[in-house]
Amino acid sequence: MTVLVIGGTGKVGTLLVTTLAANGAKVRVLVRSEDRVALLPTGVDPAVVSIVDDPDGAQAAFDGIDQVFMLNRPVATEVVEGVLAVLLARRAGVRRFVYQSVFHAEAHAHLPHVASKVAIGTAVRNSGMAWTLLSPNHFFQNDWMTREALSDGRYVVPIGGVGCSGIDAQDIAAAAARVLSSDGHDGMDYPIVGRQVLNGAACAAAWSEVLRRPVTYDTDPARWRASSPMPAWLGLDLMTMYETFGRDGYIASEREMDSTVRLLGRQPVDYADYVTRTAAQWGLS
- Give one DSSP letter per residue of 65-86, joined into a string: -SEEEE---S-TTHHHHHHHHH
pLDDT at 213 over 90: yes
The closest alpha carbon to 271, from 135, 151, 101, 155, belongs to 155
Angle in degrees, CA 14, 51, 25, rounded to 5: 40
* Domain annotation for the chain: domains and CATH numbers: 2-135 (3.40.50.720), 137-168+192-252+269-285 (3.90.25.10)
- Dihedral of the CA atoms 171, 176, 182, 183 (nearest 10)? 120
Write the pLDDT tens digit of every residue in 46-94.
999 999 999 999 999 999 999 999 999 999 999 999 999 999 999 999 9
- Whether 31 and 51 have beta carbons less than 8 Å apart is answered as no
114/130 Cα distance (integer angstroms): 23
Write the pLDDT tens digit of every residue in 34-53.
888 888 888 899 999 999 99
262/266 Cα distance (integer angstroms): 7
Provide the residue count of the chain: 285
Task: Compute the average pLDDT of residues 222-230.
Answer: 79
Three-state DSSP class for 227?
coil
Write the pLDDT tens digit of every residue in 86-132.
999 999 999 999 999 999 999 999 999 999 999 999 999 999 999 99
| Sign (positive or negative) of CA dihedral 63, 35, 100, 171 | positive
The closest alpha carbon to 257, from 196, 199, 193, 197, belongs to 193
Classify residue 269 by its DSSP letter. P
Angle in degrees, CA 230, 236, 240, rounded to 5: 130
167/169 Cα distance (integer angstroms): 7
Q: How far apart are the first and last CA of the chain?
A: 41
The pLDDT assigned to 220 comes to 81
